[in-house]
Amino acid sequence: MFETAIAGSLPKPAWLAETQKLWPQWKAQGDELRQAKADATLLWIKAQEDAGLDIVGDGEQARQHFVHGFLEQVEGIDFEHKVKMGIRDNRYDAMVPQVVAPLKLKGRVHAFEAQLARAHTKKKLKFTLPGPMTIVDTVADKFYGDKVKMAFAFAELLNQEALALQADGVDIIQFDEPAFNVYMKDAAEWGVKAVERAAQGLTCTTAVHICYGYGIKANNDWKEKLGEEWRQYEQVFPALAKSSIKQVSLECYHSHVPPEMMKLLEGKDVMVGVIDVASDVIETPEEIADTIGRALQFVPKNRLFPCTNCGLAPMDRDVAMKKLQALGAGAALARERYR
């Protein structure tokens, strides 16, 4: 009961990459960088295990950014000539690569870190991939001329990698779709279907993570404008509930999402965000157990997975470590309280 997990990313240690940045520069190159990525991955697996988490991940230590890390292994993308593009409906500008030719995988994308993580933990292993709609929103298109067509082209590539990750021994494959909370109509119309295409043929657990983004200023400013009640999930969850995806990861603690939204996910496992990634204040176990208690009004015990609201990548490493420990302790308290 109350198996704990993180959304996905964790801060990169200062010896691996620049800290507190969404697109950090690596500190080494070649074999040295590869070794540093491996060391950081192992460090975070140990930290998650020590915190008592039930489901662990690689912390996305081997990729620069959760979307571009995948794109680096895709043929048909020009990384040499990045262009400035407003992403997430112009919420913030990013330097993005351009799609210039038919998309094809160059080979495996995440074999190194997935196999490394699998070899070093006996816990359930979750691995994250960007969702098709979020990829399409984080790349410039100079080739397909059609968003949906390009999203499904990416979904095919994601599916290849996801099947290979499953063969590597990954237990849960999660597609990250923050764009679902921005383009709700598109998400319901074709975004969920594109995720299902990416998950086609998987027999391991499948998940989708939908959030209000990392705790960076552009996102925090955007959230200020979303009003008293954030009802974005209301438009997307019914499509997800009907889909073949098994788990949904959502924001809860400190967000303005009405908790009854979780009722729309009947039949799904719900990864409930009990850790705020936009604040350095460490949640107490009591606060976490309280959040779990509120969610229990709408999600059955056996379907509730306490989680972080989003990734912790741009946070201070020490703060992230303490938040992992709080998550473990909070879930333990909730197991006593609500058994």
Q: Are 48 and 118 in contact (CB under 8 A)?
A: no
x/- contact string, 157-196, with Zn ion (CB under 5 A)?
A: ----------------------------------------
Name the β-bridge partners of 60.
Answer: none
CB of 59 to Zn ion, least distance (A): 14
Q: Which is nearer to Zn ion, 42 or 270 (CB)?
A: 270
CB of 180 to Zn ion, least distance (A): 10
Sign of the C-alpha dihedral, residues 276, 114, 248, 149? positive
Q: Which is nearer to Zn ion, 162 or 210 (CB)?
A: 210
Query: By CB under 5 A, which span of 31-39, 85-93, 129-137, 307-315 interacts with Zn ion?
Result: 307-315
CB of 37 to Zn ion, least distance (A): 21
Q: Which of 139, 173, 208, 211 binds Zn ion (CB under 5 A)?
A: 211
Q: Which of 109, 165, 184, 310 binds Zn ion (CB under 5 A)?
A: 310
Q: Which is nearer to Zn ion, 153 or 211 (CB)?
A: 211
CB of 182 to Zn ion, least distance (A): 12
Backbone angles phi, psi at 99, to 5 degrees: -80, 120
Q: How many CB atoms lie within 10 A of CB 177?
A: 29
Q: Which is nearer to Zn ion, 38 or 312 (CB)?
A: 312
Rule CB under 5 A: is residue 36 a binding residue for Zn ion? no
> How far is it, in rounded angstroms, from Cα 23 to Cα 231?
29
Q: Are 173 and 127 in contact (CB under 8 A)?
A: yes
Q: Which is nearer to Zn ion, 67 or 85 (CB)?
A: 67
Q: Which is nearer to Zn ion, 162 or 310 (CB)?
A: 310
Q: Which is nearer to Zn ion, 151 or 211 (CB)?
A: 211
Query: By CB under 5 A, which span of 69-77, 86-94, 210-218, 325-333 interacts with Zn ion?
Result: 210-218
Query: By CB under 5 A, which span of 163-171, 194-202, 239-247, 302-310 interacts with Zn ion?
Result: 302-310
CB of 10 to Zn ion, least distance (A): 13
CB of 160 to Zn ion, least distance (A): 24
Q: Are 244 and 206 in contact (CB under 8 A)?
A: yes
Query: By CB under 5 A, which span of 100-108, 141-149, 207-215, 283-291 interacts with Zn ion?
Result: 207-215
Query: By CB under 5 A, which span of 203-211, 223-231, 293-301, 313-321 interacts with Zn ion?
Result: 203-211
Q: Are 60 and 209 in contact (CB under 8 A)?
A: no
Name the residue with tokens 């994308």: 109
Sign of the C-alpha dihedral, residues 276, 255, 88, 218? negative
> How far is it, in rounded angstroms, from Cα 42 to Cα 58?
8
Beta strand pairing call for 74-87 and 92-105: antiparallel
CB of 310 to Zn ion, least distance (A): 3
Q: Which is nearer to Zn ion, 91 or 118 (CB)?
A: 91
Q: What does the binding site for Zn ion look like in residue numbers (CB under 5 A)?
A: 211, 310
